[in-house]
Amino acid sequence: MSSLRSWILRWLTTTNHKDIGILYMVTAMYFFLVAGTLALLFRVQLAMPESNFLPGKAFNQAVTVHGLVMLLWFLSPIQFGLANYFVPLQIGARDLAFPRLNALSYWLYLFSGLLLIVSFFVPGGAVDGGWTLYAPLNTSAYSPSKGFDLAVLAIVMLSAAITLGTVNFMVTIAKMRAPGMTWDKVPMFTWSILFTILMMLLAFPALAAAGILLLLDRLLGTTFFLSVEGGALLWDHLFWFFGHPEVYILLFPSLGMLADIISSFTGRPLYAKRFVLVAFMAATVLSYIVWVHHMFITGTSLLVRKIFSVTTALISIPFEMATLALILTLYKGRIRYTSPMLFAMAAIPLFIIGGATGVFNAAIILDRAFRGTYWVVAHFHYIMAGTALFAVIAGLYYWFPKMTGRMLSEKLAKIQLILAVIGINLLYFPQFLLIDMPRRIYRYDYAPEWITLNQLSTIGAFIFAASFVVALIALLHGLLRGRPSGDNPWGAWGLEWLTKSPPPPHNFDGQPVVTKDGRILIVPEKTLEEQGVDKVITGEAKVSVTGVMTPNGTAGHQSPSHAHGHGHAHAHHGSMAPMMLALGMFVAFVAMPLGNTALMALGALLAFASIAKWVLDEYRGRFSEPEPRYREEFPFVGIDKFKVGLWTFIAGEGFLFGSLVGAYIFIRTRSPAWTPGIELHDVAIGLFNTVVLFTAALAMGLAYYNARVGNVGLQRASLAFALALGLLFMFTKAYEWSKFAAEGYGLTSTMEAQLYYTLTGAHAAHVLVGVIASLYALVRSLRRPYGPQDARTLLYIGIYWGIVDIVWTFIFPMFYLI
Partner 1 sequence: MARPQLKWAAHPPIAYFLAWAFLVFTALLEIYFVAAGLTYNTLVFVTSVGIVQSSVIALIFQHLREEPQSVKAFPLGSLVMLIILVSAAVTSVLACTPYLG
Q: Report in angstroms how near the CB of residue 667 gets to partner 1 at its nearest.
A: 10
- CA–CA gap between residue 621 and residue 671 (Å, rounded): 53
580 C-beta neighbours (distance < 10 Å), count: 20
Q: Which of 349, 486, 518, 662 binds partner 1 (CB under 8 A)?
A: 662
- Residue 363: HSE in the Cβ half-sphere, 13 Å Cα cutoff: 8
Among 425-433, 467-475, 544-552, 659-667, which window interacts with partner 1 (CB under 8 A)?
659-667
Q: Which positions from 616 through 655 interact with partner 1, judged by CB under 8 A?
A: 635-639, 643-644, 647-648, 650-651, 654-655
Nearer to partner 1, 626 or 672 (CB): 672
- CA–CA gap between residue 61 and residue 57 (Å, rounded): 6
Q: Report in angstroms how near the CB of residue 696 gets to partner 1 at its nearest.
A: 10
DSSP 168-206: HHHHHHHH-BPTT--GGGS-HHHHHHHHHHHHHHHHHHH
Strands 511-514 vs 557-558: parallel, antiparallel or unpaired: unpaired
Among 141-149, 467-475, 517-525, 658-666, which window interacts with partner 1 (CB under 8 A)?
658-666
Work out whether 665 is an interface residue with partner 1 (CB under 8 A): yes
DSSP 112-166: HHHHHHHGGGSTT-S--STTTT-TTTTSTTT---HHHHHHHHHHHHHHHHHHHHH
CA end-to-end span of the chain? 67
Q: Which positions from 780 through 809 interact with partner 1, judged by CB under 8 A?
A: 795, 798-799, 801-803, 805-806, 809
Interface with partner 1: number of residues (CB under 8 A): 65
Q: Which positions from 394 through 453 interact with partner 1, judged by CB under 8 A?
A: none
Calculated CA dihedral for residues 423, 427, 430, 432, nearest 10 degrees: -120
H helices present in 563-623, as ranges: 577-594, 597-619
- CA–CA gap between residue 343 and residue 410 (Å, rounded): 12
Q: Which positions from 669 through 688 interact with partner 1, judged by CB under 8 A?
A: 669-672, 678, 683, 687
Q: Report in angstroms how near the CB of residue 308 gets to partner 1 at its nearest.
A: 8
Contacts of 385 (CB under 8 A, 6+ apart): 424, 427, 428, 464
CB 638 within 8 A of CB 175: no
Nearer to partner 1, 291 or 468 (CB): 291
Nearer to partner 1, 163 or 610 (CB): 163
Q: x/- binding map, residues 98-117, to partner 1, per CB under 8 A?
A: --------------------
Nearest C-alpha neighbor of 433 from the set 379, 509, 390: 379
CA 344 centroid distance within chain:
23
Q: Which positions from 273 through 332 interact with partner 1, judged by CB under 8 A?
A: 288-289, 292, 295, 298-301, 303-304
Among 233-241, 326-334, 496-504, 584-592, which window interacts with partner 1 (CB under 8 A)?
233-241
Coil, strand or helix at 551: coil
Q: Which of 280, 399, 432, 666 binds partner 1 (CB under 8 A)?
A: 666
Among 85-93, 523-531, 576-584, 663-671, which window interacts with partner 1 (CB under 8 A)?
663-671
Q: Report in angstroms how near the CB of residue 478 gets to partner 1 at its nearest.
A: 43
Coil, strand or helix at 373: strand
Q: Report in angstroms how near the CB of residue 774 gets to partner 1 at its nearest.
A: 14
DSSP 3-state percent helix, strand, coil across the chain (nearest 5) = 70, 0, 25
Nearer to partner 1, 23 or 212 (CB): 212
Measured over the CA atoms of residue 136, residue 137, residue 140 and residue 142, the dihedral's sign is positive
Q: Report in angstroms how near the CB of residue 707 gets to partner 1 at its nearest.
A: 11
Q: Which positions from 192 through 231 interact with partner 1, judged by CB under 8 A?
A: 202
Residues that bind partner 1 (CB under 8 A): 202, 233, 237, 241, 288-289, 292, 295, 298-301, 303-304, 635-639, 643-644, 647-648, 650-651, 654-655, 658, 661-662, 665-666, 669-672, 678, 683, 687, 690-691, 694-695, 697-698, 700-702, 705, 708, 795, 798-799, 801-803, 805-806, 809-810, 812-814, 817-818
